[in-house]
Every structure is written in C-alpha cells, then in structure tokens.
C-alpha cells in the first residue's frame, strides 16, 4: 500500500474534510490535497441530509482532483462515528473434544476471532473492528500470537467495535451509488489514535481523548492493546450553545467568542478583559467579561472530564495506571487552557495535546488537531495491523457467519 494514492473523508458534524495522499517508503504521509467545507449534513455520526452531504462531497472531490491532478473514482477510507458506535470486550474458547493437544494454526485463530464478534454483535449491527487483545493457552500467560503453539484449549480476547447496519447502508449508497467510490469505513477514534500514538505510549498506557463537535471519543491503551473505547455524545458544540444561550446571541457569534475570548480554565481567564458581542436584530453591542463567560465553558468541559473518570472506573483502573498520561486532540479541543483544566483534575499523570507527526505537506500541520482523524485515515493501511475485521461488504456478513459456524461444528466443543 506504500506509494499508492490514498483517499480519505472525515464526516464530521461541524465540517466535512477530505484529503489525498500517499504513504512514503519511510512511513511518512505525503499530502497532495486537503479540503474542508462546513456542513450540517451529519449529526453525531448520522446522515440527516443526504442531498446536502452529497453536494458537499462533490465540491470536495472536485477540489482534490484539481489539486492532486487525479480522478477520484476507486475507493476511499471514510470515518464512522457518533451515537451509532458501540464497543465491547469479548472472549471465547476452543478446546479439543478428546482433551488432547492440538496445534493452533491460522484457521483456528480466525475461528476464535469470528466467534468473539459473533457472540456479542446482533444481526442489525456491523463489526467495524475486531481487535486482538491476546490469547491464553490453558493456564499460560497472555500470548500475542498463538500460531504454531499447542494446547488442549485456547482462549481469545478481542475488543469489538460495531455500528448500526443502517448507518453503513446509507454511507455505502451515498458513496457507491452516487459517487462511484467504494467506501471502507473506519471508526474515527481508532483511526485518529492508531497513527498518532507511539508504540511506547500504547505500551506504557495512555488515555486518548478526541473531542469533536458533538461527541468525544475516549480510548484506553495498555500493554500495546486497545482495552476500552467509548463514544460520549458531548462535544464543543454544546459549549457554543451554552455561550449562545447565556449571552442571548447567535450560534455563529458564540462560536467566535469560544475561539477568541474564552479560557476553558476560568482561573486563567483575564478578569480585566471586556469584549463586545453582536446582538441579533439589534445595532447595539453587548459588553461581556471574559472571566464570567469562561466559568460557563469550564462547567461544560468538566462534564467531559467526569465522563473520562466514569470510564476509568468502569474498567477497574486508576488514571495512574496509564503512565503515558492523557493525550487530547480533535477540533473541539482548540480552546485556550483546556490542557490546564485537565491538569487540575489529573494532577498525577502527564497531560499533552496530541501533535500530528510524520507528515509531508507545504504547510506545518503539527498543531492542526482538527485534522487528526483525516490524517489517521490516510495512514490507515500501515497502522491497522491488529485489526482483524472482515473486509466483506455488509450484505455478505450474515451468510459468512453461518457458513463458518457450520464448518466448525463437530470438530471442537
């Protein structure tokens, strides 16, 4: 897949982003074109206005084709996100009927992985990612790759990320039927984290927090395994709405205030800073105190922090178990002093904004955290080595599972 042209679309609620790039021999991503358009066609991962989405995608495609001097008519990596995403840790076992040793080969390993997703995912949902978390052979320690080993039984653990069939049906129809592009769906949180977190960070343990417009992805890595993921339907758009309601101004003006005049940590807001905002249908302007409005914003981001703590507790861990600390990213994180607010609540671990690395482009994108999913999608072919998902189309999944179950029935318990 290196040097092959990669196409990516990040379908967000605030904007739709797209990029053309290639993976260079040294593993860096050379970007040939990036395009973005604000769009109200997506709501927390759901397509709510297909015609609008299609028109915006056509604009982006035209720009990318012009910039990169190519025709976009094959396939693309496309983000899937929001309320339709669910995840669960799953496990299953195979053991010999006669209680004798058997050798574990690729077929047995794949059967285990299929069973892990089968047992947890209903027929109205599609497995996006079935990510290995290791194996146990009898009473062995955790094994990363069991192929070639022998035992009387083997247990597999995976992290299964799945989405409603409805979401993918609409996505597939939009891209395949209307644009003649085959979409390969990827959970946006997994794409963003996979290509930007280092091996050491995942090994030591890291909490990745990707704040978007109307949702926040929280992913936990430990010992180089993805051990938990959660989508929280809460993002920076809710901060904007809080500002608009409190100041009785427009969403557009509230968004400007959020970016230019707000501190996510109110203790670091300038109490002396008085700025003006526009009032809808009025020529007059209103004076606002930065400290006052920052207190409103801080409360909303503390809701996100509370959700992080809830997820840590749900997996029986402590924040200090994640030695690489917390990495914050996403377009919704671009609010002044957000990292300091996290440091207030997580004083015992490092807190850092995620930087985009290994990119070749005409501009410096290091601090463009809003592009982290898009870059992750371009890099997906080299960073998804532990993702054992099927690449079959949605309509083939049910028959595949039935045939696998029939094939193995009677061979093992």
**Binning pLDDT at 50, 70 and 90, where does residue 117 land?**
confident
Query: What's CA 100's distance to the chain center, in Å?
Result: 43
Mean pLDDT of 295-321: 96
| 284 DSSP 8-state letter | -
Q: What is the mean pLDDT of the chain?
A: 90
Contact by Cβ (8 Å): 168, 125: no
The domain 85-163+390-408 having CATH identifier 3.40.250.10: the answer here is no
Strands 125-137 and 153-164: antiparallel
To the nearest whole percent, how much of the chain has pLDDT over 70?
92
Q: CATH 3.30.1490.110 spans which residues of the chain?
A: 85-163+390-408
Q: Which tokens in the block code for residue 309?
A: 């703590």
Report the CATH superfamily, name and number, of domain 199-354.
Answer: ATPase, nucleotide binding domain (3.30.420.40)
Q: What is the mean pLDDT of residues 112-141?
A: 90
pLDDT for the residue numbered 68: 92
pLDDT in tens, 191-221: 999 888 999 999 999 999 999 999 999 999 9
Q: Would you say residue 7 has pLDDT above 70?
A: yes
Name the CATH topology of 5-83+166-198+358-383. Answer: Nucleotidyltransferase; domain 5 (3.30.420)
Q: Start-end ranges of CATH 3.30.420.40 in the chain?
A: 5-83+166-198+358-383, 199-354
Q: How far apart are CA 170 and CA 172, in angstroms?
A: 5
Q: What tokens does 164 get? A: 């409603």
Lowest mean pLDDT of 33-37, 72-76, 372-376, name the range. 72-76
The model's pTM: 0.90
Of 8, 163, 169, 179, nearest in space to 78 by CA: 8
Taking residues 313-330, what's their average pLDDT? 97
Residues 6+ apart with CB under 8 A from 304: 209, 211, 216, 232, 234
Segment 397-402 long-range contacts (CB within 8 Å, at least 24 positions apart):
397/126, 397/127, 398/123, 401/114, 401/118
């Amino acid at each position: 897949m290196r040097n092959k042209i990669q196409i990516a679309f990040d379908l967000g609620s605030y904007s739709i982003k797209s990029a053309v790039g290639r993976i260079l021999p040294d593993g860096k991503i050379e970007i040939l074109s990036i395009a973005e358009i604000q769009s109200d066609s997506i709501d927390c991962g759901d397509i709510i206005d297909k015609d609008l989405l299609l028109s915006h995608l056509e604009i982006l495609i035209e720009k990318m084709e012009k910039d990169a001097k190519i025709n976009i008519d094959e396939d693309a990596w496309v983000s899937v996100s929001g309320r339709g995403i669910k995840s669960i840790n799953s496990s299953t076992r195979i053991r010999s009927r006669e209680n004798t040793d058997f050798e574990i080969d690729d077929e047995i390993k794949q059967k285990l992985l299929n069973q892990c997703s089968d047992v947890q995912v209903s027929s109205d949902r599609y497995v996006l990612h079935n990510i290995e978390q290791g194996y146990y052979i009898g009473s062995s320690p955790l094994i990363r790759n069991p192929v070639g080993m022998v035992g009387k039984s083997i247990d597999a653990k995976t992290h299964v990320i799945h989405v409603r069939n409805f979401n993918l049906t609409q996505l597939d129809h939009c891209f395949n039927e209307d644009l003649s592009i085959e979409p390969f769906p990827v959970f946006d949180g997994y794409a963003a984290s996979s290509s930007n977190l280092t091996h050491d960070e995942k090994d030591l343990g890291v909490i990745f927090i990707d704040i978007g417009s109307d949702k926040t992805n929280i992913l936990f890595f430990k010992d180089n395994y993805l051990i938990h993921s959660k989508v929280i339907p809460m993002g920076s758009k809710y901060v904007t709405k809080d500002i608009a309601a409190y100041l009785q101004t427009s969403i557009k003006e509230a968004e400007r205030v959020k970016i230019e005049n707000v501190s996510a940590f109110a203790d670091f807001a300038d109490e002396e800073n008085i700025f003006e905002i526009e009032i809808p249908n009025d020529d007059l302007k209103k004076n606002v105190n930065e400290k006052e409005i920052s207190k409103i914003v801080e409360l909303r981001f503390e809701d996100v922090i509370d959700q992080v703590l809830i997820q840590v507790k749900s997996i029986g861990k402590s924040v200090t178990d994640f030695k690489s600390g917390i990495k914050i990213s996403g377009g919704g994180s671009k609010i002044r002093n957000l990292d300091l607010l996290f440091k207030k609540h997580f004083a015992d671990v490092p807190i850092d904004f995620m930087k985009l690395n290994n990119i070749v482009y005409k501009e410096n994108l290091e601090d463009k955290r809003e592009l982290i999913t898009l870059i992750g999608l371009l890099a997906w072919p080299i960073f998804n080595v532990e993702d054992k998902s099927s690449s079959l189309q949605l309509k083939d999944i049910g028959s595949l599972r039935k045939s696998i179950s029939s094939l193995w029935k009677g061979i093992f318990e």
